[in-house]
Amino acid sequence: MLSFRQRDELAALIRKSGRSVVAARRPDMIERRFIGSGAAIAVVDARGAPREGLAACEALSLPIASTGSALLVLISQGDLAVLDRFIEAGVTHYLISPFGQDALVNMLRMTDRFVERVAGGGKSASERARLRLAETEAWTWRPGDRSVQLSSAFAERIGLAERDVHIWRLLAGIDKAGRRAANEALSKLLANGRAGAFAHGVGGRGERLAHHIHFDDDRGVVIGWVEGSRGEGEVPAGPSDPLTGLANADTVRAFLAERLTNGEGPEPRATLMLLGISRFGLVNAAFGRVAGDAVLQGVAKRIERIMGQAGQERVLIARTAGSEFAIAIGSSLAPEKAELIAQRLVDAVCRPFVSAERLIPLSCRVGVAAAEPDRSEPVASLFQRAGAALAAAKHGDQGVHMLDASQEAESHRRSQLEIDLRRALHDREIDVLFQPQVKIGTGEIVGVEALARWRHPTLGELGAETLFDAAARSDYVTQLSAHVQRRALELAARWPLGLSHLRLSLNVTASDITSPNFVAEFLARVDAVGFPRQRLTVEVTESGLIEDLSNAAVILSDLRGAGLRVAIDDFGTGYSSLAYLKALPLDYLKIDKALAADISGSTRDRIVVRGVIDMARSLGLAVVAEGVETTAQLGLLAREGCNYYQGFLCSRAVDSEALIGLLQGERSEASPAA
């Protein structure tokens, strides 16, 4: 709540309705403070201050819209002429003075219902409130007790492991002036019941914490809501992200540019950390976008707390993409220190978030890059190295990866691949091979999977994984995928009559599925070469991130309706497997080669593979095992009920000419038995 002239009186009225209030008189950083409070309703008291109130509403409009919250403005009768301007600024509700407590309470009830509707119903709104509350910094104290109960977030902020601490232990971390202010505010609250606030420095870093206190009559306790303020050594946030209140990508780039230009001395002038949450789209799919947004706000708070404890003088935290954050440190930082901070970030973000009785687990990775001393480097290059480090962390076993000077050559090599890729499409260096798919019961080749191969002029033949990794880094996946699909269809359409029974499997990426008009363009590509739709299977990679599973399900249903079949590829490589099976319309399940290899391992490994096959068959899906290399593996897969296999046991990926020869050899071997 923001009131320029009647803060305490208005806060008391709202508290009488049973609500907790964080009350402010100054509009400084109001949008950031609103997001940090975790509140679902913002009240701006513009009575007698229409210009200041309008500016505050305009500042709050984006956070209000992004978080699905309500914005209530209180205006004087004489200011009705500017009401339209308040509504244009994003106000969702208004109340005209004079009004009594009953009118205010009824209007707040209307804002409650509005928030519930926007959040998808009361249950979703409650879950969002609980998620926010779990990350709120607060404390409670029963007058006369010697201990104070801290929220987990506040305990973490001030560096205490326990949540139930002696009051003097808490006061020990407050400067002398702050203790005096706390004593005065608490004395006034206990004497007359009027809410108040006090502030103090913490940690010797110039940071200040403000405590908004009130007395909860029902519980008989004092509640303090804690709000952090910007220290003198911190960087101004500039334009902010409306969901989290953090800086945005442009602001962090400008900050780094200034540090890279003006840094002095032999130490690195800036360190950049990129934190990416793995497969965050599945959180939205499983728990809803409202809960997902609340989790992102919680992630932002956890990052801020960890960096607040790190003791660095100049730090800027930004949300740079949907589930990616940047932490820019504008002072010298030893590699060991950077890695320690990054690991603390991973540990903090990966702690499950609590929603009702459910836990929302997250997985995240951090890539770290330091600007080299005595070397001029553009911001784009630093981001590129941090991005490469993040990609390496995502593909590795560790949560943190640092890209140092010894690894930079590899980064340059990969960057060169990105450049070469665009030329390769034009020069027709990228072609397609086909790997046979065999029916286990008969040994007959019944289909093939199209696999991309890059005949690089200096590096030789490169496989699909290297090829698509380079495309992903250069944001060229959709163009590459279209090229591979088109080339495979052209080759398959020219197969002789003896191959007319083969099914063709084409890989479809997550980028394809999220592209506008994908279904129409893909089917037009198929029809243009004359390949029969009923012999075509699209394979969706299980390890690929699909942000919106419900949308993907619609698209794949449209493809099935057009006569195609759908397979889930590389099944078993990620925790998303069950979510994919539940959400997507499928015909085949393809077991990843690593999982198929396990079947010849221990008894426990075979039980896992057997469970996957049984689950697929129970859902009416045929099962294809990839990477089968030995007769022992094939025998065990056949025993467990697998339908098809592909791998070196039959053949490596071959071109069309070799495929024709392979099929002719198969028939000549079969003819004597006939």
Task: Output the domain CATH number for residue 80.
Answer: 3.40.50.2300
> 3-state class of 35 per DSSP?
helix
Where a domain ends, among 101, 123, 145? 123
Task: Give 183-189's long-range contacts (Cβ < 8 A, gap of 24+).
Answer: 185/211, 185/213, 186/213, 186/222, 189/213, 189/214, 189/215, 189/222
Measured CA angle at 325 (ends 422, 364), to 5 deg: 90
For residue 590, give the CATH number of its domain: 3.20.20.450
pLDDT for the residue 373: 62
Q: Domain boundary residue among 123, 156, 187?
A: 123
Contact of 34 with 40, CB cutoff 8 Å? no
Comparing C-alpha atoms, which of 652, 649, 654, 542 is closest to residue 597?
Answer: 649
Instruction: Tell me, yes or no, whether 386 and 443 share the same domain.
Output: no
**638 and 490 co-located in one domain:** yes
φ/ψ of 451, rounded to 5, equals -125, 130
Domain count, the chain: 4
Report residue 127: phi and psi, to 5°. Answer: -65, -40
Q: Domain containing 221 — which CATH number?
A: 3.30.450.310
For residues 5 and 149, membership in a common domain is answered with: no
| Domain termination site, one of 231, 257, 272 | 231
pLDDT tens track for 52-75: 999 999 988 887 887 778 999 999
pLDDT of 455 reads: 84
Could you tell me if residue 611 is inside a domain?
Answer: yes
Q: Tell whether 142 is covered by a domain.
A: yes
Output the domain CATH number for residue 331: 3.30.70.270
The answer to whether 70 touches 40, Cβ cutoff 8 Å, is: yes
Q: Is residue 419 part of a domain?
A: no
This prediction has a pTM of 0.51
User: In this structure, what token pair is assigned to residue 540?
Assistant: 């969706």
Domain that holds residue 40: 1-123
**541 has which bridge partners?**
569
Question: What DSSP assignment string belongs to 79-127?
Answer: GGGGHHHHHHTT--EEEESS--HHHHHHHHHHHHHHHHHHTTSHHHHHH
Say yes or no: 520 and 654 in one domain: yes
Residues 38-62 as b/e (b if ≥16 CB within 10 A, e otherwise) read bbbbbbbbbbbbbebbbbbbbbbbb
**Residues contacting residue 315 through CB under 8 Å, at least 6 positions apart:** 234, 235, 307, 327, 328, 329, 330
Same domain flag for 89 and 140: no
Check whether residue 607 and residue 646 sit in a common domain.
yes
Give the model's pLDDT for residue 674: 33
Q: Do 265 and 375 belong together in one domain?
A: yes
On whether both 146 and 63 belong to a single domain, the answer is no
Question: Are both 206 and 301 inside the same structural domain?
Answer: no
pLDDT at res. 263: 52
Residue 411 lies in a domain: no
pLDDT < 50: residue spans in the chain: 121-122, 231-234, 236, 405-406, 544-545, 575-576, 670-674
Res 671: pLDDT: 46
Residue 349 lies in a domain: yes
Tell me, yes or no, whether 320 lies in a domain: yes
Least Cα distance to 532 among 492, 476, 592, 585 occurs for: 492
Question: Does any domain span residue 469?
Answer: no
Considering the domain architecture, whether residues 254 and 354 belong to the same structural domain is answered as yes
**Residue-wise pLDDT tens digits, 501-537:** 999 999 988 788 878 889 999 999 999 999 999 999 9
The residues with which 624 forms a beta bridge, in sequence order, are 590, 644
Same domain, residue pair 369 and 444 = no
Residue 652 lies in a domain: yes
**Domain match, 204 and 293 both:** no
Specify the pLDDT at position 331. Answer: 74
